Chains A and B, each alone.
Chain A
Amino acid sequence: AQSVTQLGSHVSVSEGALVLLRCNYSSSVPPYLFWYVQYPNQGLQLLLKYTSAATLVKGINGFEAEFKKSETSFHLTKPSAHMSDAAEYFCAVISDTGRRALTFGSGTRLQVQP
């Protein structure tokens, strides 16, 4: 079975500071990994995904994530936080074997202080 752990249900940063949201996964087969963002009362929007092409993945809105197999991690970063980044962020895992549906972490709510 696959699983995702997101450390920190709430993260608060100052505007302009580094954003780091942590995601660790468990998978017995090569995984595909995703980061989604959710604004209040809305659906999920894809930020970026890892599909084995490159370990450093760049996404929308200046976010990027690095796949580290040895650490089973896929942490999300952004060099400089903006007020508009305040939202909930979800990490998810899926593979080409077994259940063909995303398994999500419990989410991290990002607050950006002025």
Chain B
Amino acid sequence: DGGITQSPKYLFRKEGQNVTLSCEQNLNHDAMYWYRQDPGQGLRLIYYSQIVNDFQKGDIAEGYSVSREKKESFPLTVTSAQKNPTAFYLCASSIGGSSGNTIYFGEGSWLTVV
């Protein structure tokens, strides 16, 4: 089936550790996105990529890093510099081109600091 796969669903991070959230899509989409969701705050954009080997910072990029070496993959690394990483993380993708094209979301990953 075509779609966006995020893994793991649940992840626990110790203080000072870097962790990487995986996002893979088999929709042949050019654009990919990472959002963070906290209760009552909606979704906030972390990074986005319109094409392979290129990406831009969103509103809350500090403490996060990404790579886009392959069209189908857009992993997000939460570094130790992110002081409050506990949140629900959502990956999304779209075919690109017109911004009116639908952006599809994965099922999300929960990250908890322990």
Q: Which residues of A are at the interface with B, using a C-beta cutoff of 8 A?
A: 9, 32, 34, 36, 41-46, 49, 51-52, 90, 92, 94-96, 99-107
Given A94-B99, A95-B99, answer yes or no on A44-B50 (Cβ-Cβ < 8 Å).
Answer: no
Query: A104 with B43: in contact, given A43-B90, A46-B102 (CB under 8 Å)?
Result: yes
Instruction: Give bound CA distance, A51 to B104, whole Å.
Output: 16
Q: B-side binding surface: helix, strand, loop or mixed?
A: strand
Decide yes or no: A100 and B31 within 8 Å by CB, A43-B90, A43-B108, A90-B43 being known contacts.
yes
Chain A residues whose CB sits within 8 angstroms of the CB of B56 once the complex forms: 99
Shortest Cβ distance from residue A46 to the other chain B in the assembled complex, whole angstroms: 6
- Choose one: A45, A99, A106; the contact of B42 (CB below 8 Å): A106
CB-nearest residue of chain A relative to B6? Answer: A43
Residues 13-58 of B contacting A (Cβ, < 8 Å): 31, 33, 35, 40-45, 48, 50, 56, 58
User: Would you give 16 A-B contacts (Cβ < 8 Å), ordered by A?
Assistant: A34-B102, A36-B105, A42-B107, A43-B107, A43-B108, A44-B92, A45-B105, A46-B103, A51-B98, A92-B43, A94-B100, A94-B103, A99-B58, A102-B45, A104-B42, A107-B40
Rounded to whole Å, the gap between the CB of A77 and the closest CB of chain B is 21
Which 9 pairs from chain A and chain B are nearest by CB? A51-B100, A43-B105, A106-B42, A44-B105, A32-B100, A104-B43, A104-B42, A94-B99, A101-B48
B106 beta carbon closer than 8 Å to chain A: yes
In terms of DSSP, what is the predominant structure of the interface of chain A?
Answer: loop
> 5 more A-B contacts (CB under 8 A) besides A41-B110, A46-B102, A101-B58?
A9-B40, A34-B103, A44-B92, A94-B99, A103-B45
Residues of B within 8 A of A92 (CB): 43
Q: How far is the CA of A100 from the CA of B32 in the complex (A)?
A: 11
- CA A19 – CA B90 in complex, angstroms? 27
Residue among A44, A46, A94 with the most chain B CB within 10 A? A44
Beyond A42-B107, A43-B90, A43-B107, whether A96 also contacts B98 by CB under 8 A is yes
A90 engages B108 (CB within 8 Å): no
A42, A95, A100: the one within 8 Å of B48 (CB)? A100
